[in-house]
Structure 1
Amino acid sequence: MRQRGFKCQVCGAICPSRREHQRHLQKFNHWPSDCRRCARTFPSAEGLHDHEVSFHNYCRECNRSFPSLQSIKTHLRSVRHRGKQASCPFCDRRYTYAAAVAGHLESGRCPRAPGLNRDETYRFVRDKDPYGVITKKLIGWKGTVHYEVGDTCWNGRAYQCNLCCHEFNSLYALSQHVNSPRHQQVLYHCPNHRCRRPFTTIAALFNHLESECCRYATFDHVQNQVGDFFLSNRILRH
């Protein structure tokens, strides 16, 4: 049977006349939303947002298009759209990403956890990860290796890293580079059995998971769990 009246695309209400339909839309703000890219109409702003992101890589709020779905997802997780929702479990300093919280702690910059650094973080995580969900079981591991640099690193035009051949303008910059996590032993891996990408820091692992590139965890899940991760001794499981 043919439907009589005018149907609201948002709530499904049937109005007997066009005038009543317009009043209903105005009263409840149930105006349908039109896609700026393909002119499709959606009954809700949420549906329109999901469509423009997934099909057009388009951010309506910023009026900006992106080259890929991954790039617009990264944009939508930025401080512009989400603010700083992740916080340090010790000093409450807020960050946009859980990876930044982990980096804050691994670098020893937290004033309320001064003894926590990359090595202590690994020991803490390894102790609650007997099944190797995210940690490498390193026999004989003794901690971070510290490298010394000097004038012998000068190659005639710059100070050169003997480990990767990158060049730097000063010994200080070279020292910072060689003693960074880049040239340290791999401590972690992605928990996804189909990925297993290696990482030298927990911050890098969190960054990988927040990107959702291997679809093991969602961005929101990593954000919500970061505080508990550093405070709880609960055994890690898949």
Structure 2
Amino acid sequence: MKLREISGLIFIIGLGLLLGAVLKILAYDNTVGMSILARAPLEVGTANLVTSVLLAYRGLDTLGELTILFVAATAAGMVLGQRRPDAAFEPDAGFILRIAADLLFPFLIILGVYIILHGHLTPGGGFQGGAILAAAFFVPILASPASPFNHRVSSTIEGLAGAAFIIIGLVALFDKGDFLAPLFGTGEVGQLFSAGSLPLLYLAVGLKVGAELAGLLARLQESEVSD
């Protein structure tokens, strides 16, 4: 076996032993999950209880995840850098693929927005919808250089969405005493206008994730072209 394979095997064994020790020390406790199932509909007003966990009960962790994604996307963008002005684009993928990409663009936008806005009602939400929004802009990039994506607009949306997430959390902290506590009441469970400010948080998450992923994919495509 090569040295790299041996080191990888040692790492996997060590990780397995560590996880085994942690599971042996920590006793399994399902009371937290049962408590959330019982209290979330009344306290948060979400039909999708996963949303209540992500944006209310452990919303600070979600902010950490967004920070990690931001740092990773920023670092990748800095490494890839700007496309050289003299770098020529590859020719179009062809008439059929270009037209298909243009036709898919509005449908992907609608689907992404739908998943984001209904994240508190059905499976989905900001992360999943944001990934679809990123794909909506990346598919035309693959088909043709004349894509609707703009790095400056993407960076602006990303910054505003991140700021909106934090501002909503701070307003909740001063008003309710808890960071990201639902504002504006809970509404009626199962209705579109329910769960208070959680749909606004998911909208901020979706726009931020979509802008970051689309920008990163565009940087990767430009890097491949310039090479």
- TM class, shorter-length: under 0.3
Larger Rg belongs to: 1
Higher relative contact order (CA 8 A, sep 6+): 2
| TM-score w.r.t. length of structure 2 | 0.26
- Structure with greater proportional helix content: 2
TM-score, length of structure 1 as denominator length: 0.25
